[in-house]
């Protein structure tokens, strides 16, 4: 699956102009409000096995950084992305899990159980406050679509194993979202996170 956010921009934009509002056949209960009506409130599981809802627990009222990944990545993109985001996590310090929330969504949820994600976290030495998420195949696909990690060409989008290293950064209450290559300099990613959060650098 291709993880391509279009447009990939280095400027803050309203979420409505960013996220791919493709229809999805499943009907999922949502909460009220603009974002609550757009983001499905599906139940996911963290690497610790904790059940969380996409909108209520992960997005609502928060500044977030999101990427999609394969724990068993064959082309080396995902480990490089993880290492770069770990450098960003170091820059953020104790803001992670308090002011900024980092989420990595599995692209292979059938294989990526919470236990496997926990091994991935331990293997890479990921610090606290960064959640790795899995769930049912349909729910994870719905998250991918609604978060905009898609390709406009349906044939390309259907090809499993294809993905680009992109991160989505957003502030849900401000309705500000932007995307950036995940390999961007950690200091640059920090600047962009602060922009969408409305925090002075």
pTM of the model: 0.82
Give the pLDDT score at 35: 65
159 within a domain of the structure (yes/no): yes
188 within a domain of the structure (yes/no): yes
Question: Which regions of the chain are under pLDDT 50?
Answer: 1-34
Give the pLDDT score at 153: 76
Give the pLDDT score at 160: 61
The kind and range of the H/E element at 139 are helix 137-146
CATH number, domain at 148? 3.40.30.10
3 within a domain of the structure (yes/no): no
CB 35 within 8 A of CB 172: yes
7 within a domain of the structure (yes/no): no
Domain with 67 in it: 13-19+30-197
What's the CA gap between 148 and 163, in Å, rounded?
13
The torsion region of residue 66 among left (phi > 0), alpha (psi -120 to 50) and beta comes to beta
Beta bridge partners of 149: none
What's the CA gap between 116 and 24, in Å, rounded?
28
1 within a domain of the structure (yes/no): no
5 within a domain of the structure (yes/no): no
Give the pLDDT score at 154: 76
Domain count within the chain? 1
133 within a domain of the structure (yes/no): yes
The answer to whether the bond into 35 is cis (omega within 30° of 0) is no
């Amino acid at each position: 699956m291709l993880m391509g956010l279009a447009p990939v921009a280095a400027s803050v934009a309203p979420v409505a102009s960013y996220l791919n509002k493709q229809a999805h056949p499943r009907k999922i209960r949502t909460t009220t409000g603009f974002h609550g009506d757009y983001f499905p409130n599906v139940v996911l599981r963290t690497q610790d096995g904790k059940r969380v809802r996409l909108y209520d627990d992960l997005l609502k009222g928060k500044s977030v950084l999101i990427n999609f990944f394969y724990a068993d990545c064959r082309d080396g993109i995902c480990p490089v992305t993880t290492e770069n985001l770990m450098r960003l996590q170091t820059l953020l310090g104790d803001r992670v899990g308090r002011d900024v929330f980092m989420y990595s969504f599995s692209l292979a949820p059938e294989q990526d159980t919470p236990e496997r994600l926990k091994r991935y976290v331990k293997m890479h030495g990921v610090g606290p406050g960064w959640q790795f998420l899995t769930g049912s195949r349909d729910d994870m696909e719905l998250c991918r679509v609604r978060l905009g990690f898609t390709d406009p060409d349906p044939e390309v989008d259907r090809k499993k194993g294809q993905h680009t290293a992109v991160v989505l950064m957003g502030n849900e209450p401000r309705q500000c979202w932007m995307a950036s290559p995940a390999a961007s300099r950690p200091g640059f990613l920090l600047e962009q996170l602060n922009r969408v959060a409305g925090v002075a650098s």
